[in-house]
Amino acid sequence: MFTGIIEELGKVVSLKRGSQAAILAIEGNLIFEDLKLGDSVAVNGVCLTASHISGNMFQADVMNETFHRSSLGGLQKGDVVNLERAMAANGRFGGHMVAGHIDAAGELVGKQRDDNAVWFTIKAPPQVMRYCVEKGSIALDGISLTIAKLGEDTISVSMIPHTMEHTNFGKKKIGDLVNLENDMVGKYVEKLLQVPKEQEQKTSGITMETLLRAGF
């Protein structure tokens, strides 16, 4: 579990592709204070497992499914990436609940300065737009952000200078891909509401009718 508060910017050392999967090597500084083999690290929002650590560099296996869902397949040596270690049990929840499971990659289609902030507009596929609400949370390349505006197939967020400076969005260009992860709460709510009435009655004494009568 992550919070969407980026700890540092790392750099791609290599991406060794096989027939389908790959090994990604990343170098950094801060995250290596207590990083251990088997620990989870979010790389541009994708939850990866540190399978090898050497000095200030770690390697992680990347599955074919991850390439299909995210933008990691386009990484090249020297690219800057957002890094966040898994949240400690006694840590602060500075952002929102981020699983590191990318729903899809979107395309940056708009970038406009607004005084000290910058507006970014991302075109997102229907399966992502389904769970987007104005003023709701979304993770963009692992960054916890608030959706400020919603279009038919776009989301817009506004970033302050601090976020631009400490994340890869300071280098984003029109046409770049962005990893998108919806707030997981909406998905669970939808799934619960889709439970057939027959199953509700068999598995629980509480039904949708019961909840409605109680004012929920």
Give tens-digit pLDDT for 82-104.
999 998 877 777 889 899 999 99
pLDDT tens per residue across span 19-60: 888 999 999 999 999 999 999 999 999 999 999 999 999 999
The residue assigned the tokens 């406009």 is 112
Neighbours of 142 (CB within 10 A): 28
Could you tell me if residue 92 is inside a domain? no
The answer to whether residue 98 is domain-embedded is no
Q: Are residues 111 and 167 in the same domain?
A: yes
Residue 66 belongs to some domain of the structure: yes
Alpha carbon 169 to its chain centroid, in Å, reads 13
For residues 101 and 184, give the distance between their C-alpha atoms in angstroms, rounded to a whole number.
10
User: Domain total for the chain?
Assistant: 2
Return the CATH number at 155: 2.40.30.20
65 & 33 share domain: yes
Instruction: Tell me the residue type at 155.
Output: I
If you search the block for the tokens 């817009």, which residue do you land on?
156
- Domain span at 20: 8-85
The pLDDT tens digits of the residues spanning 78-87 come to 999 999 999 8
Q: How far apart are the first and last CA of the chain?
A: 29
Task: Quote the pLDDT of residue 130.
Answer: 95
* Neighbouring residues of 13: CB distance < 8 A, sequence distance ≥ 6: 25, 26, 27, 57, 77
- Same domain? For 138 and 67 the reply is no
pLDDT tens for 101-133 read 999 999 999 999 999 999 999 999 999 999 999
- Token code pair at residue 118: 């910058």
- What SS3 class is residue 88? coil
pLDDT tens-digit map of 133-151 = 999 999 999 999 999 999 9
- Residue 63 backbone phi and psi in degrees, to 5: -80, 160
Residue 124 lies in a domain: yes
pLDDT of residue 216: 65
